[in-house]
Amino acid sequence: MEASFDVLTLPVLPLESEAVLPGMVVPLELSDAEVRAAVEAAQSAAPRGEKPRVLLVPRLDGSYPALGVVGRVEQVGRLADGDPGALVRGLRRARVGAGTTGPGRALWVEVGPVDESEPSPLPGAVAELVKEYRALATSWLRKRGAWQAVDRVAGIEEVGALADNAGYFPFLTAEQRATLLSTLDPVERLRHASRWLSDHLAEEEVSESIAKDVQDGVERQQREFLLRRQLEAVRKELAELDGGSPDGDEADPRARVEAADLPERVRQAALKEVEKLERASDASPEAGWLRTWLDTVLELPWQVRTEDSYDIPGARAVLDADHAGLTDVKERITEYLAVRKRRADRGLGVVGGRRGGAVLALVGPPGVGKTSLGESVAKAMGRKFVRVALGGVRDEAEIRGHRRTYVGALPGRIVRAVKEAGSMNPVVLLDEIDKVGADYRGDPSAALLEVLDPAQNHTFRDHYLEVELDLSDVVFLATANALEAIPQPLLDRMELVRLDGYTEEEKVTIARDHLLPRQLGLAGLTADEVTVEEAALRRLATEYTSEAGVRGLERMIARVLRKVTAQAELGELTLPHAVTADGLRRLVGRPHHVPEAAQEPGVRRTSVPGVATGLAVTGAGGDVLYVEASLADAETGGAGLTLTGQLGDVMRESGQIALAYLRSRGAELELPVGDLRERGIHLHVPAGAVPKDGPSAGVTMTTALASLLSGRRVRPEVAMTGEVSLTGRVLPVGGVKQKLLAAHRAGLTTVIIPARNEPDLDDLPAEVLETLRVHPVADVRQVLELALAPAGAPAESPATLAA
């Protein structure tokens, strides 16, 4: 280290993004104009016999620091690559002063000395720091075989010089070298150098460990690759000897299994089957079964799950946009997503290995949108959708899969649905679950018990796969028309959501927003060419169709648009054309479903005594049911009760109970029941080709008989439902919502229901309740008071009930 100096005037040699420390000898390229100007100026100003000096200053971020290093130009010549250069040695730190003038084009500044005094003798802590640094530097240098540098480090005694020697380490950044340059305390400077060197050695150790592991893995893979290629060549030779094709199966099953992202239990099961395949001959049937099984297992998306859309308002908006009404199922899906979002936000994860998928049973008449609702649910949740048609399925193996020992064995429809969806959490729609049958091959509905049980389906085991499949994150939607056709144990595992049909307003909304645009596209028309007025849509929904859903309504809209298209092509009308309510008759003929209440008084069925209007539930939704009663002539007819209309046992019993009640209470009701012993009674329910059963016609039969005996007509605007007991109590029945919707569609305004069914009114749409007067009753006397018109009232002027 050069001795101290007072004040010097030196040219500035700037170093771009680099710093030189005292004691370092570095080559500098003279291709840079500023570097060359500084060296030339130093040479011209140097006294004869002395080597020129410069001030080495790092330039970081375009600025100069307050400290630099006085450097001596040892030699000027050419570097190893042939470019002009200079060899400069750093001598000691110097403080940069004011600028001054000097020869040449370089920048000259005044520099002053810097105090870098060191403690002497070295304290114990500093001595330990020096020892630690030497050990770290020696370790790093020995790894690179720099034995001369090791000796040089061991010979440096001064703390500051030892720290400045760290400037030679190539892994130090320019900022770190600048930090060493600006740190005047030698001990603090050595701490910096020691910490950076220690960190680098730790990083190198980790990198070397990783590199070693990678190298070992590569060597093992290369060894396995060579062995497998040899095994493959042997198999090809054997296949040729056996007469087979040497290129039949080029993929190595073991490699495919190991490369696949499988759960550990599935991986172990697959590797066992691979061992069997490796031992089996390629010509054996077992080899084909094993390959097919492995292909099936590897194609399943074991680790693939789509992220649920936790935009709850957005999901509800999707459901509302795709379907009008259906509030119950929309609320249930919204609740499911809200709970999933809350658990995800709080990091609660899965519960007991189960992720909490939903199992919903959508039960309702045809055409209400049960199947299409599944696609909307999947879209709202951001999941894949797959439909499984169960109508007519009679083989249990269709659900749980075939054993692999059978020829042509396949996994069940549930596994195939997951495979088709490509994720482990799709929305699976089990369509027409009430149409599942049973025969000698088993009962598919029994096989569905484990699939649809939230407490069991996380370990579902298909007969073909024979490994556990987690179905707990699948959202199952089952659709059915008849609730009674679903086995009770299966129904117990699902959450029931009833879709009881649409009101008139909902039908018009669906037709306007969904059915009409779709049918316009199918007919090759645009909304600018053909418009259908809302009054026309309303008339199509009420007079041209009579259904709980909208399937028939869509067919009528399609028929109207086809007629318009055909007439436009024939020149009978011009486009654009507006379809009005009055114009429907010219396009599709007269309406076929005029409500009973809208007909002429003398044409109505209730215009004569002995006819009552009841309400029933069928597979197609709610419907209006008429019960007719007549008395046989005393001379020609025999005594007894005759029931016709293809009635079931329960409905026949209702007729007998109604007759028995009137016979026992005739005097109280002021009915002439004395001659019933001698005259036969005939109860008939029209539409005899349609089977009918159920207890809900009890009050209707009683009212029809009471009307016949009393001669009082049943009010034409009144419909009723309820079971009757021998004591005259009106007992509750099912399907009240569907029945009231049917009464609303039929144009009836007053409905009598059992008092214990009054809570069911909460499920009814508000617009329907506004048009109906519903009377909950508990006794048959109340039914007769409300339903029967006063004696002698004309059929064409029916009395109006009080609200």
Catalytic residue set: 696, 739
Residues 290 and 404 sit within 8 Å (Cβ to Cβ): no
Residues paired with residue 110 on neighbouring β-strands, in sequence order: 9
Residues 536-563: b if buried by 16+ CB within 10 A, e if exposed: bbbbbbbbbbbbbbbbbbbebbbbbbbb
Query: Where are the strands (E) in 348-426, listed by range?
Result: 359-363, 385-389
Nearest to 538 by CA among 509, 571, 497: 509
User: Who contacts 393 (Cβ-Cβ below 8 Å, separation ≥6)?
Assistant: 399, 413, 435, 436, 437, 444
HEC readout, 432-481: CHHHCCCECCECHHHHHHHHCCCCCHHHEECCCCCCEECCCCCEEEEEEC
The H or E element spanning position 152 is helix 147-155
Would you tell me how many other CB atoms lie within 10 Å of the CB of residue 708?
Answer: 24
Residues 181 and 67 sit within 8 Å (Cβ to Cβ): yes
- Alpha helix (H) ranges present in 23-86? 33-45
Mapped onto helix, strand or coil, the DSSP state of residue 318 is: helix
Structure tokens at 163: 């720290």
Phi first, then psi: give them for residue 11, nearest 5 degrees. -75, 145
Residues 189 and 180 sit within 8 Å (Cβ to Cβ): yes
Q: What one-character-per-residue DSSP string does 532-547 give?
A: E-HHHHHHHHHTS---
User: How many residues are listed for the chain in this entry?
Assistant: 803
How far does CA 681 lie from the centroid of its chain?
61
Nearest to 783 by CA among 612, 605, 595: 612
Give, as one character, the DSSP assignment of residue 349.
-
Plot region of 501 (φ>0 → left; ψ -120 to 50 → alpha; else → beta): left
